[in-house]
Amino acid sequence: MNIMTNSHILVHEFTYLEPQTVAEAIDLLAAHGDAARVLAGGTDLIVQMKMERLKPGYVIGIGRLTELKGIKHGPAVETVHSPAVETAATVAKSACADSLSIGASVGAHGRPAVETAATVAKSASADSLSIGALTSIREIARNATVRRHYTALAEACAAFSTVQVQVMGTLGGNLCNGSPASDSAPALIALGAEVVLLGPDGETRLPVERFFLGPGKTARRPDQLLTAIEIPQPAPNSGSAFLKVGRVAADIAKVNAAASIVRDGDRVADCRLAFGSVAPTPIRTPKAEAVLRGQVLTPELITQAAAVAAEEVSPIDDVRSTAAYRRKVVAALTVDAISRAWERAANGESANQRISEWRSADAQASNPQVGGNGRHATHAQDITHHASRTVALPHHRTIRLTVNGVRRRLQVADNDLLLNVLRDDLELTGTKYGCGIGECGACTVLMDGQPVLACLVLAAAADGANIRTVEGLAAPDGTLDPLQEAFLDYAALQCGFCTPGMLMTAKHLLEENPHPTEADVREHLRGNMCRCTGYAAIVRAVLAAANGE
Ligand SMILES: Cc1cc2nc3c(=O)[nH]c(=O)nc-3n(C[C@H](O)[C@H](O)[C@H](O)COP(=O)(O)OP(=O)(O)OC[C@H]3O[C@@H](n4cnc5c(N)ncnc54)[C@H](O)[C@@H]3O)c2cc1C
Ligand code: FES
Ligand code: FES
């Protein structure tokens, strides 16, 4: 394993490619194979590249493929409007195994249609939930339908790291990263979800539990894009739950667990149990499930199933925990996950709720992308910058950013990071470099209204974005923002190193939720580390700003 050398920059050079359609993305993947890596939110990929564990020759940024974003009912094929997918759908409808005729814009990859595309499309229900691979973890955690009917997944996404990582990280990235500790995987496995993969030879579907092959290894071929995750409609009288134990709230799991249960009165009609961080891949525990299936549920039965689950897993000792402790946690989480899922199944909500009602619930739910400013300049001032650090690099381009209301045109290298462009080219040094790998929050800025970690954002991928840094908080006449005033009044800083990131995350909170509770403030700021003030004064300051004090 390489030792991390410098998390400040991406030392390795690569060509950044940005397809405008799904078909173009497939073409690029087919052309570059293993030399290319897909970039979604970058919270895994950029970290691995900084650690020099990965050195792709091509980085394919899929962030602009809006058809891969969002949550809707019905088979995934409806969500993706590319010639390739339409062809796959057509083939599936006619259940014909003829070759796929993929349009010119997709490239000449016509090959025999994969059988799975036809087979599964037949079984794909209009009532299943389709989540685009690029949908952010935060959007899923806040979606009304997911929270109510696919509760284990909403809980898994809410348990995920920090607000910034939830905003940047995507569901597709979480699965394709292939981590045994993925939070979404056990929930998706418990809910019976499938991944939808699209390649030059059409569409393939696979149950999530078969997608994982080993640490960092999945069944996705290098020429395939994960386009969506489909979850079947929950059975009547069913419920689900997810639980996680980590070293701290914002950490990846020592152990995570998900359960889904279908009730038939006092009996367990069906159930699925899944765990993460206790085997080389996220796993199901079929023996523990068998203990429950068909039985009247009693506390003794739950304890028995928990003991069997603890035997079925194969954890290891590592930096986060010991194998022995993990087994104990598996037993404890199994009891709690089964109990919660059982209780939720008793409410019978999944059975009674009509799909149309779900849709209207979502329509009424607040927009998760609150604060999105759109990519519009507020000041018609155009300033061109040349990145002196990067002139020698071969792959560079011109990008446009609106930073604190001022339009900027910048020359950046493909491996430049937003943080360095802000600090070095624009001399906006308020935004700090702390850890460089997404863990401290010191580099938090608002990008299109959402808090992101500038140390993990490729400058090229931010082209067209509206960026707000701490320098943009005060009014043009220098009057401080009420949050800044409150930080001063409540002595919420000492050295001040964490303060810009803390302020930007708190600003996002107050824009999204003007009247937060103390718990809301602590939850929202959990990704911002302060090494000298402590958090009490910071929390008081944010609450005071919210109350206009
Ligand atoms: C500080 C920190 C905390 C974290 N905490 C958690 C946590 O609590 N729980 C957890 O589960 N994870 C956690 N992670 C890991 C990471 O945030 C998640 O795995 C996230 O969902 C990855 O999504 P992404 O869009 O950022 O993926 P990226 O980094 O963009 O991509 C990840 C991998 O998937 C591939 N990929 C991405 N999208 C596709 C696609 N559509 N088709 C094909 N390949 C694709 C990429 O090439 C890459 O190999 C954490 C990461 C950091 C830095
Ligand atoms: S410097 Fe970006 S999170 Fe630490
Ligand atoms: S004030 Fe010093 S790190 Fe927070």
pLDDT > 90: percent of the chain? 75
Whether pLDDT at 547 is above 50? yes
How many Å lie between the centroid of ligand 1 and the Cα of residue 158? 15
- Closest among 161, 152, 170, 154 to 70, alpha carbons compared: 170
- Give the C-alpha distances (Å, rounded to integers) separating 23 from 29, 227, 291: 10, 11, 46
pLDDT (average), residues 389-410: 81
**521 and 463, same domain (yes or no):** no
The DSSP symbol for 277 reads S
Residues 278-308 pLDDT 10s:
999 999 999 999 999 999 999 999 999 999 9
Note whether 71 and 216 are same-domain residues.
Answer: yes
Closest residue CA from atom 41 of ligand 1: 226
Decide if pLDDT at 167 tops 80: yes
100-112: per-residue pLDDT in tens?
222 222 333 333 3
Q: For residue 53, give the ligand nearest its CA.
A: 1
Look at residue 323 and tell me if it is in a domain. Answer: yes
Same domain, 31 and 142: no
224 shares a domain with 124: yes
Domain boundary among 448, 472, 496: 472
Closest CA to ligand 2's atom 3: 438
Q: Which residues of 225-245 are buried (b: 16+ CB within 10 A; e: fewer)?
A: bbbbbbbbbbbebbbbbbbbb
| 210 shares a domain with 71 | yes
pLDDT in tens, 410-451: 999 999 999 999 999 999 999 999 999 999 999 999 999 999
C-beta 132 within 6 A of ligand 1? no
Residues β-bridged to residue 228: 132, 196
Question: Dihedral sign, CA of 319, 321, 327, 330?
Answer: negative
- Assess whether 192 and 262 both reside in one domain: no
**Ligand found nearest the CA of 502:** 3
Mean pLDDT of the chain: 85
Q: Are residues 401 and 499 in the same domain?
A: no
Q: Is residue 355 part of a domain?
A: no
Check: CB of residue 299 under 8 Å from CB of residue 215: no
Domain check: are 281 and 391 in the same one? no
> Do 128 and 20 belong to one domain?
no
Residue of 105, 156, 89 lying closest to 337 (CA atoms): 156
Is the model more confident about 249 or about 524? 524
Based on the fold, state whether residues 542 and 494 are members of the same structural domain. Answer: yes
Residues 51 and 73 in one domain: no
Is residue 307 domain-resident?
Answer: yes
pLDDT above 90 for 369:
no
> Which numbered atom of ligand 2 lies nearest the CA of 433?
1
Predicted local confidence at residue 383, as pLDDT = 57
pLDDT recorded at residue 228: 98
Domain contains 375 = no
Give every CB contact of residue 322 below 8 A, 6+ residues apart in sequence: none
Does any ligand 2 atom lie closer than 6 A to the CB of residue 168?
no
Q: What is the pLDDT of residue 226?
A: 98
- pLDDT: is 482 or 352 the higher one? 482
CA 73/CA 127 separation, integer angstroms:
6
In-domain check, residue 378: no
Ligand nearest to the CA of 497: 3
Number of domains in the chain: 5
The residue type of 345 is: A
CATH code, domain carrying 318: 3.30.390.50
Tell me: do 206 and 242 sit in the same domain: no
Which tops the pLDDT comparison, 125 or 472?
Answer: 472
Mean pLDDT to the nearest integer, 74-97: 37
CATH for 455: 3.10.20.30
Q: Is the CB of 186 under 6 A from ligand 2?
A: no
Helix or strand run (H / E) with residue 381:
strand 379-386
Residue 438 structural domain: 383-472
Percentages helix, strand, coil for the chain (3-state, rounded to 5) are 40, 20, 40
Closest CA to 63 of 7, 8, 22: 22
| H or E segment to which residue 153 belongs | helix 151-158
Domain edge (last residue) among 61, 76, 93: 61
User: Each residue of 29-63: pLDDT tens digit?
Assistant: 999 999 999 999 999 999 999 999 999 999 999 99
Does the residue 439 lie in any domain?
yes
Angle between helices 83-94 and 115-123 (to 10 degrees): 70
Compute the C-alpha angle 439/385/47, nearest 5°: 20
